[in-house]
Chain A
Amino acid sequence: MRWSKLYTFNCFRGHHGDAGADGPSSDGAGAVGGPGFSRVVHCNNPGLQKPLKYPTNYITTTKYNIITFFPKAIFEQFRRVANLYFLLTAILSLTPVCPFSPVSMIAPLAFVVGLSMLKEGLEDWRRFIQDMKVNNRKIAVHKGDGEFMYRHWEELCVGDVVKVEKDQFFPADLLLLSSSYEDGICYVETMNLDGETNLKVKRSLEATLPLEEDESFKDFQAVIRCEDPNPSLYTFTGNFEYERQVFALDPGQILLRDSKLRNTSFIYGVVIFTGHDSKVMQNSTESPSKRSRIEKKMDLIIYILFTVLMLISLISSIGFAVRIKLDLPHWWYLQPQKSNKLDDPSRPALSGIFHLITALILYGYLIPISLYVSIELVKVLQAHFINQDIHMFDEETGNTAQARTSNLNEELGQVHTVLSDKTGTLTCNQMDFLKCSIAGVSYGVGSSEVEIAAAKHMASGYDDHDMPLEDIWEENNEDEIELVEGVTFSDDRLMHGNWTKEPNSSTILLFFRILALCHTAIPETNEATGSIAYEAESPDEGAFLVAAREFGFEFFKRTQSSVFVREKHTSPNGTTEREFKILNLLEFNSKRKRMTVILKDEDGQILLFCKGADSIIFDRLAKNGRVYEVDTTRHLNDYGEAGLRTLALSYRVLEEAEYSSWNAEFLRAKTSIGPDRELQLERVSDLIERELILVGATAVEDKLQKGVPQCIDRLAQAGLKIWVLTGDKMETAINIGYACSLLRQGMKQICLSIPTGDQVAQDAKKSSLTTEQAAKESLLSQIANGSQMVKLEKDPDAAFALVIDGKALAFALEDNMKHMFLNLAIECASVICCRVSPKQKALVTRLVKEGIGQTTLAIGDGANDVGMIQEADIGVGISGVEGMQAVMASDFSISQFRFLERLLVVHGHWCYKRIAQMICYFFYKNIAFGLTIFYFEAFAGFSGQSVYDDWFMLLFNVVLTSLPVISLGVFEQDVSSEICLQFPALYQQGPKNLFFDWYRILGWMGNGLYSSLAIFFLNLCIFYDQAIRAGGQTADMAAVGTTMFTCIIWAVNMQIALTMSHFTWIQHLFVWGSITTWYVFILAYGMTLRSGDNYQILLEVLGPAPIYWAATLLVTAACNIPYLIHISYQRSCNPLDHHVIQEIKYLKKDVEDQTMWKRERSKARQKTKIGFTARVDAKIKQIKGKLHKKGPSLTIHTVS
């Protein structure tokens, strides 16, 4: 008990002592391992650990706590210029300078700021709850004497020994001590870290293997000296001092917080990094805050309005100063001789300056205080609709679309370029073993999806240009479902044991063994069905294993040292189980591009199996291993063209002596400590991976996601440019390009790549340049040639495709070349970048974003897309099987690429128009209102008196005109969602910015100016000096102000009714309700004595006066007629596309004239050069061309 008390105390202290500091590097332990390697962990010894004061495992991701919430949140609020302005005015309203009562200034500000803070608070509360859930998870911790006890995660301290059970998350970064497996391995799922779904194997040190039960921790003592907390997930350096020996630690023993224990019943581990020190927390970055184009422009408009505000305030205060100097001394009824300094005739300049402040407050209605809060509210609701959209609901994963930030909704409607990742986004990352080449013979007759689609399309043989393609898609989709089932590979020569009859059956046997043995996968037996699933590092391996099983080589068990395979046809006794001892495993990485196992079969023969990229393998073949090289190369090329991913397989037989001498060296390299261990290992691996004998090659198909070609087609029709950025090699990328219709026959491909090393070296020698310069030169000339080619092209239908590989891209992204490259890329219909690194993805995105100056959207699913997603104007994450890294960094997440169409074409289009119209209207209504206050000043000696009651002004923005504009922003639809999808060309209204260009903004402002003039001067003339009632009473200021205000309420609400084109009951309620609310308010307000001269104003003064109602009608009509003329004229003479479509729908012409409707739908596409439609067009053109040449002899050939 004593210990546990100390624990908590220690934890508590530690947390506070180190909060905020990024590590203990500053304390005394710093000397132990040098800078950056100062952490010391006393395992199982809190007494020694305590003084080091590392933070506890408590995490908090909240922005505020109870004490800091108010100051911090308020500070956040007033960082916005507009809010600061309103705060200033609110403070000034407490001084006599203010023309209004303080409450009418402070109340709206408090409301707006309060609402925003409430939202902040709620979000933070949600984060807090989430944190609490994590912090309160239970974990078994060693509390002494070999006893384990459950504790909350947050109570965990560095040095604690924990026991993690199957399918639990690791509570902190742990050092693996031992596991339920006797060899100390465990399987870890790291999906939350890097998005990879496959399991990873971690291995404990040999030394700690005996610690395999609770009791053994009774006297366990050890010290870990290691690196300081850092965000690198894949590195770890440290030493483990145990039983007077020092062992080197590597990432293989480290279990990271947030990953999950799988397939292992329990493990023991020592906590190394806790809480915010853990690698995953170190990795968390706040995503950059993005703002939409519209909002940036809106800020500009606000600045313009500020200028106008300053201007009229200046006019006002100069007017005031002049009046005060010249006239005030004569106005005896103001007792000018008793003036204070606010209106002192002897000091007009000073009074003028004071009045400037008054005026700035008074005309503040030009700046809509509620604009920000309304927009925020509208966007949240819009985001809610996006989240709720059933058409973006993926039934397979159960995921909906998620608008993770709401402030980019309208940006979705203005996208110009889509930059897409390939794997996981366009393709499923699901591999189908389709073909193989063994011993120079190609097997496998299955067709890839591309071929099927092409065949299908050709077979349908339609020639009607105008026919929409939907029908064909549907047929295709039906087919796809069949394709997904079972194994795609079919070739009787290999199946059902027939391979034994093939001439090269021994080679075939080797081929299958390589498939079944050369991998790092783990079999998982489903206990119910007995079937085996494979957890493989790459989907290719999974496909290989499934294929091998079909061939009769079922891999079913793996121990640390052996692989077990059930072979069906290799022995005459039927199915036999064979054990292969794994001697070494040289893992795959992107640099090596190959993986090797060295194993001993049951006969004691040592074999080396190696699979890898063809070029790598071919470089390492022995002289006698090149028998099948020519044939295999040919097959590889064929497969590549068919859109398949290829790998070459090879083997080698090792002599015992040769192996053991190599193994000694390998072990030495493996146990070496320090940064060059990787290099050492690579060098040693290289020694053995040579003199290989080629066996054959495999071809797997990377399946396209559902609906991807269709979606790309429609996006292209909507006028979007699509760039594909992929880490794949050029051939694969081109293949997928074909599959997605980004490339097609007859397209001129411009391939930019750096020539191979030899060539460059030769060129360099000739021109006495460095290799790098030579490469640059060559690239430059390639780009220049490409541009020239595009420029000289006469055929308007010609399309170009740009394919660039990563190395070339590295040069192309340099300052001096990037503009040339970009210009060429813009000219090309499709752009594919292959072999790009995550960094390059982000750089390309930036280049496009900044170079074109248009909105870019990046879509991806993996951790490698995070940079691109954060860099683009809009980042979209695919919440699919891969982890959530991309989603966490994204602004929107969807579960399938195909939902992008609806997200952009429907929601983007709507949100863009809604927000644009909403902002325009906001400016209109505040100008219309604000300027009337200014005009009145001219008639009130610029004294700062407002003609309206304070309460009217207060309610104007907050209550009386806010709901209709919000309903406009949330519910407005120019056309329904189906029409948006049927007429993709409508989307172009966004990128062309038809609804928020200066013409439109100024038009609305002009309308506001006109309305203010009409409202003020019409009322002025009506109420000039005459009686307003049969009873002879004249109008006083309250009567005039209230009438004018009534006119404003009517005029702006009628205006929004004219602006809307979509009335549900909600819009009706809000628009007409706002007007009603005004009358209800003035009635209720008139009941209270606080209303001053507005007491009983509607009931007694204005209500019975016909002139009041007549004025309202006149002014409302006068305000809205010009806009009515404008929209009538525009619709009749210069209709926009959505006008015409609305009319067609309204007149039900689409039902009556189906052919016209269909024809228009197909025409509504932008002239595209990419996409399925374009492909069909090109094909038809090609066929027609052939018909011309060959006449009737042509037979339409279908692709097999």
Chain B
Amino acid sequence: MRTFRTHFSYEALLELRSSYTCSSVKTDSKFTQQELPACKPILTPKWVISVFVLIGVIFVPIGVASLRASQQVVEIVDRYDDACVPANVTDKLAYIQDKSIQKSCTRTLTVTKDMNQPIFVYYQLDNFYQNHRRYVKSRSDDQLRDKSKAAVTTNCDPEATLNGKPIVPCGLIAWSLFNDTYNLILNNDNLTVDKKDISWKSDREHKFGSDVFPQNFQQGPLIGGKTLDPNVSQLSEQEDLIVWMRTAALPTFRKLYGRIHVDLKVNDTITVHLENNYNTYSFGGKKKLVLSTTTWLGGKNDFLGLAYLTVGGLCFFLAFAFTLLYLIKPRKSGDNNYLSWNRPPVGR
């Protein structure tokens, strides 16, 4: 630490002296004397017990409400990555990378409980590191937003340019866009999957330009995921891309695929025709199709409710324990016998 001792300056002494005499009328404010009015809360037994009871009283109902909400959610999860590769294929990787094969696949889902619309369709990927630094960095927000900044591809390596021309949208994130597709059929009727409005509104309106069109996208020697039509698909309407570009925090993640505006009844059977294009086989990631309802709290999440109940319960227990403690080993507040000089020396 720096001292703020001044060097020996004899003049300083004189100055000190004169300033002393000048400042003989001292300001005696409560602030400088450190006597500002203050509240000095003290954890008396009453307070301790009330605080714990209060936390318990707040937390347990929240816990119950969250748990109830979570219980109301109906969720159908179907893992299809293994099942959608024909049984005779041994090298799954080669299979998925083979562009010439039509990779259609049909799955049948049974509704376990009544599901009220809207029902959300998700795809879930596993062991996919969207949060890898190399991946997260590899995008250009300027380019996505602004037509004139198509050339800004600084962070987009190794998917920045093609033959010297910028790729729009550039970077690994866009390049690896998820490209499995689902067609849902309920009792022979096509279930319309509404793919509008699955992304955040602000993203569509501000971050992805309505006049920005794909350029040189997926044209290189390596094709990652989904291709975008350079002529029709303005980026602000590519909601799949917009959702995908919101990188997930964890290697297991779900992303919204679309909505179904039909109520499903228990034991309804849904047939899914899917195109299994996306490569998760090279890194052993699972792919799942998820149909789920939501509540005010979101999806199925028992953890939050349970955590609230645990903390709430713990607080009730603590309130009880402290009550016992105060009863069994009472210490009157402000009991002078507990001052160190009144205690036998062994105590401390």
Produce 1/0 per residue, A58-71, CB < 8 A to B. 00011100000000
Contact A940 B133 (CB under 8 A): yes
Given known pairs A61-B9, A1041-B249, A1117-B55, the reply for A1163 and B294 (CB within 8 Å) is: no
Say whether A393 faces chain B, with CB atoms less than 8 Å apart.
yes
Contact B172 A1127 (CB under 8 A): no
Given known pairs A1027-B294, A1164-B341, the reply for A1142 and B42 (CB within 8 Å) is: yes
Contact A1117 B118 (CB under 8 A): no
Say whether B320 faces chain A, with CB atoms less than 8 Å apart.
no
Closest-CB distance, B41 to chain A (whole angstroms) = 7
Contact A940 B304 (CB under 8 A): no
Contact A331 B251 (CB under 8 A): no
Contact A985 B336 (CB under 8 A): no
Q: Which of B23-31, B81-89, B105-113, B264-272 contacts A (4 or more CB under 8 A)?
A: B23-31
Say whether B15 faces chain A, with CB atoms less than 8 Å apart.
yes
Say whether B295 faces chain A, with CB atoms less than 8 Å apart.
yes
Contact A1024 B248 (CB under 8 A): no
Residues of B within 8 A of A1145 (CB): 40, 334
Contact A1033 B256 (CB under 8 A): yes
Closest-CB distance, A81 to chain B (whole angstroms) = 13
Contact B10 A1163 (CB under 8 A): no
Contact A1160 B336 (CB under 8 A): yes
Closest-CB distance, A34 to chain B (whole angstroms) = 30
Residues of B within 8 A of A977 (CB): 34-35
Closest-CB distance, A421 to chain B (whole angstroms) = 19
Residue in B closest to A96 when the chains form the complex, CB atoms = B137
Q: Which of B120-128, B161-169, B179-187, B229-237 contacts A (4 or more CB under 8 A)?
A: B120-128
Contact A1022 B303 (CB under 8 A): yes
**Option from B10, B134, B136, B314 in Cβ contact (under 8 Å) with A258:** B10
Given known pairs A61-B9, A376-B2, the reply for A333 and B128 (CB within 8 Å) is: yes
Given known pairs A1100-B200, A1110-B66, A1137-B340, the reply for A119 and B34 (CB within 8 Å) is: no
Given known pairs A127-B6, A192-B13, the reply for A1135 and B246 (CB within 8 Å) is: no
Contact A1147 B334 (CB under 8 A): yes
Say whether A674 faces chain B, with CB atoms less than 8 Å apart.
no
Within 8 A of B (CB), among A285-304: 285-287, 289-291, 295
Residues of B within 8 A of A397 (CB): 20
A290 to B1, CA, bound (A): 9
Residues of B within 8 A of A334 (CB): 129, 132, 134-135, 172
**Option from A192, A385, A398, A1128 in Cβ contact (under 8 Å) with B10:** A192
Say whether B94 faces chain A, with CB atoms less than 8 Å apart.
no
Contact A1022 B301 (CB under 8 A): yes
Residues of B within 8 A of A1021 (CB): 303, 307
Say whether A1018 faces chain B, with CB atoms less than 8 Å apart.
yes
Within 8 A of B (CB), among A1015-1071: 1018, 1020-1041, 1061-1067
Residues of A within 8 A of B200 (CB): 1033, 1096, 1100-1101
**Option from B172, B203, B308, B335 in Cβ contact (under 8 Å) with A333:** B172
Chain B's interface size range is: 35 or more
Residues of A within 8 A of B33 (CB): 388-390
Contact B131 A280 (CB under 8 A): no
Given known pairs A127-B9, A1032-B118, the reply for A1027 and B292 (CB within 8 Å) is: yes
Residue in B closest to A1141 when the chains form the complex, CB atoms = B339
**Option from B4, B48, B201 in Cβ contact (under 8 Å) with A1128:** B48
Within 8 A of A (CB), among B298-336: 298-301, 303-304, 307-308, 311, 314-315, 318, 322, 325-326, 329, 331, 333-336
Residue in B closest to A1019 when the chains form the complex, CB atoms = B249
Closest-CB distance, B128 to chain A (whole angstroms) = 7
Contact A380 B4 (CB under 8 A): yes
Produce 1/0 per residue, A344-386, CB < 8 A to B. 0000000000000000000000000000100110011000110
Contact A1035 B249 (CB under 8 A): yes
Closest-CB distance, B292 to chain A (whole angstroms) = 7
Contact A1131 B129 (CB under 8 A): no
Contact B40 A1037 (CB under 8 A): no
Closest-CB distance, A411 to chain B (whole angstroms) = 12
Which of A943, A945, A1096 has the most chain B CB atoms inside 10 A of its CB? A945
A133 to B19, CA, bound (A): 15
Chain A interface helix/strand/loop/mixed: helix
Contact B13 A1032 (CB under 8 A): no
Closest-CB distance, B116 to chain A (whole angstroms) = 12
Closest-CB distance, B7 to chain A (whole angstroms) = 4
A380 to B2, CA, bound (A): 11
A1033 to B282, CA, bound (A): 28
Residues of B within 8 A of A63 (CB): 7
Chain A's interface size range is: 35 or more
Residue in B closest to A338 when the chains form the complex, CB atoms = B158
Closest-CB distance, A419 to chain B (whole angstroms) = 21
Instruction: Tell me the number of A-to-B contacts counted with CB atoms below 8 Å.
Output: 368
Residue in A closest to B335 when the chains form the complex, CB atoms = A1140
Residues of B within 8 A of A327 (CB): 283
Q: Which of A207-215, A222-230, A401-409, A583-591 contacts B (4 or more CB under 8 A)?
A: A401-409
Produce 1/0 per residue, A184-218, CB < 8 A to B. 00000000100000000000000000000000000
Contact A286 B7 (CB under 8 A): yes
Residues of B within 8 A of A1026 (CB): 254, 292, 298-301
Say whether B100 faces chain A, with CB atoms less than 8 Å apart.
no
Closest-CB distance, A1140 to chain B (whole angstroms) = 5
Say whether B297 faces chain A, with CB atoms less than 8 Å apart.
yes
Closest-CB distance, B104 to chain A (whole angstroms) = 22
Say whether B259 faces chain A, with CB atoms less than 8 Å apart.
yes
Given known pairs A335-B159, A1030-B295, the reply for A375 and B39 (CB within 8 Å) is: no
Contact B9 A131 (CB under 8 A): yes
A335 to B284, CA, bound (A): 16
Residues of B within 8 A of A388 (CB): 26-27, 32-33
Given known pairs A1031-B294, A1041-B249, the reply for A119 and B341 (CB within 8 Å) is: no
Contact B282 A330 (CB under 8 A): yes
A1137 to B336, CA, bound (A): 9
Contact B296 A1030 (CB under 8 A): yes
Contact B341 A1127 (CB under 8 A): no
Produce 1/0 per residue, A1117-1148, CB < 8 A to B. 11001001101110111111100111111110
Contact A385 B34 (CB under 8 A): yes
Say whether B188 faces chain A, with CB atoms less than 8 Å apart.
no
Which of A63, A258, A1143 has the most chain B CB atoms inside 10 A of its CB? A1143
Closest-CB distance, A46 to chain B (whole angstroms) = 27
A772 to B86, CA, bound (A): 106
Given known pairs A63-B7, A130-B9, A192-B10, the reply for A943 and B333 (CB within 8 Å) is: no
Say whether A310 faces chain B, with CB atoms less than 8 Å apart.
no
**Option from B279, B303, B339 in Cβ contact (under 8 Å) with A1140:** B339
A811 to B342, CA, bound (A): 44
Q: What are 25 A-B contacts with C-beta separation under 8 Å?
A: A131-B11, A327-B283, A332-B279, A332-B283, A334-B132, A385-B32, A388-B33, A390-B26, A406-B3, A406-B4, A407-B1, A884-B13, A941-B129, A1026-B298, A1032-B118, A1033-B198, A1034-B256, A1067-B38, A1095-B206, A1100-B202, A1140-B338, A1143-B44, A1146-B334, A1160-B336, A1163-B342
List the 4 shortest-distance A-B pairs measured between CB atoms, nearest first: A1026-B299, A284-B8, A1143-B334, A338-B158
- Chain A residues in the interface with B (C-beta under 8 A): 61-63, 76, 99, 116, 119-120, 123, 126-127, 130-131, 133-134, 192, 258, 280, 283-287, 289-291, 295, 327, 330-335, 338, 340, 343, 372, 375-376, 379-380, 384-385, 388-390, 393, 395, 397-400, 402, 404-407, 879, 883-884, 887-888, 891, 936, 939-941, 943-945, 947, 971, 973, 976-977, 985, 1018, 1020-1041, 1061-1067, 1089, 1092-1093, 1095-1096, 1100-1101, 1105-1107, 1110-1111, 1113-1114, 1117-1118, 1121, 1124-1125, 1127-1129, 1131-1137, 1140-1147, 1149, 1156, 1160, 1163-1164
Beyond A330-B282, A1163-B342, list 13 extra A-B contacts (CB 8 Å): A131-B11, A333-B135, A385-B34, A400-B20, A884-B17, A940-B133, A947-B131, A1018-B307, A1024-B301, A1025-B252, A1033-B200, A1101-B200, A1110-B66
